[in-house]
Amino acid sequence: MIGAAPVAAVFFDGHTAQRHPVFVTVSRDGRGLMIDAQGPGGTPMLWPLDRLRSLADQARSDSLTLTLHSDTEDETPRDPARLVIEDPALQAWLRLSAPSLKKRDVRRGTATRILGRFALAVVSIGIIVFVLLPRMSDFLANRMPLETEIQFGDAVVNQMERFLGGRAGSLLCTDPQGNAALDRLVTRLTEGQEMAYDLKVSVLDHPMVNAFAAPGGRVVILRGLLDKSDTPGEVAAVLAHEIGHVEARDPTRLMLRAAGSAGIVSIVLGDVSGGTVIGILGDQLLQTSYTRAAEAQADAFAMAMLNRAAISSEGFGAFFDKLAEMDQIEIPEYFSSHPSSADRAERAKENARNQGVTKPALSEADWAALKTVCAP
Which positions from 203 through 232 interact with another protein, judged by CB under 8 A?
Answer: none
| Contact call for residue 336 and another protein (CB under 8 A) | no
Q: From its phi and psi, is residue 109 left (phi > 0), alpha (psi between -120 and 50) or beta?
A: left
Residue 155 as a binder of another protein (CB under 8 A): the answer is yes
Q: Is 47 helix (H, G, I), strand (E, B) or coil?
A: strand
342 binds another protein (CB under 8 A): no
Told to check if 170 binds another protein by CB under 8 A, we report: no
Which residues in the 65-104 window bind another protein by CB under 8 A?
65, 72-76, 78, 80-82, 84
Which position among 2, 4, 114, 195 is part of the footprint of another protein (CB under 8 A)?
A: 114
Binding residue for another protein, selected from 49, 101, 168, 326, defined by CB under 8 A: 168
Among 34, 49, 101, 140, binds another protein (CB under 8 A): 140
Find the binder of another protein among 6, 20, 296, 372 (CB under 8 A).
Answer: 20
148 near another protein (CB under 8 A): yes
Residue 160 has φ and ψ, to the nearest 5°, of -60, -40
Options 6, 14, 44, 360; binder of another protein; rule CB under 8 A: 14
200-218: burial string, b at 16+ Cβ within 10 Å, e else = bbbbbbbeebbbbbbbbbb
Nearer to another protein, 2 or 115 (CB): 115
| Among the listed residues 57, 45, 62, 54, the one whose alpha carbon sits nearest the alpha carbon of residue 99 | 54
Q: Of 247-306, which residues contact another protein (CB under 8 A)?
A: 255-256, 259-264, 266-268, 270, 272-274, 277-278, 281
Q: Are 171 and 205 in contact (CB under 8 A)?
A: yes
Position among 4, 21, 30, 99 found at the interface with another protein (CB under 8 A): 21
Question: Of 129 and 304, which has the nearer Cβ to another protein?
Answer: 129
Question: Does the footprint of another protein cover residue 146 (CB under 8 A)?
Answer: no
Residues with Cβ within 8 Å of 226's Cβ and at least 6 positions away in sequence, in order, are: 203, 235, 370, 371, 373, 374
> What whole-number distance in Å separates Cα of residue 237 and Cα of residue 2?
95
- Residue 270 Cβ, how far from another protein at the closest point, in Å? 6
Choose the stretch contacting another protein; rule: CB under 8 A; options: 128-136, 308-316, 317-325, 354-362.
Answer: 128-136
Per-residue mark of binding to another protein, 24-53 (x: CB under 8 A): ---------------x--------------
Q: How far is the CB of 334 from another protein (least distance, A)?
A: 21
Given the complex with another protein, which of 18 and 328 has the nearer CB atom? 18
C-beta of 158 vs 202, nearer to another protein: 158
Cα angle value 346/286/212 (rounded, 5°):
55
Nearer to another protein, 270 or 356 (CB): 270
Q: Which of 180, 179, 238 is nearest to 212 (CA)?
A: 238
Span between the terminal Cα atoms of the chain, in Å? 97
Number of residues assigned to the chain: 376
Phi, psi (deg, nearest 5) at residue 85: -115, 125
Collapsing DSSP to helix, strand or coil, 6 comes out as coil
Tell me which of 70, 97, 100, 159 binds another protein, using CB under 8 A.
159
d(CA 229, CA 362): 13
Residue type present at position 279: G
**Of the candidates 246, 221, 245, the residue with the CA atom closest to the CA atom of residue 234:** 221
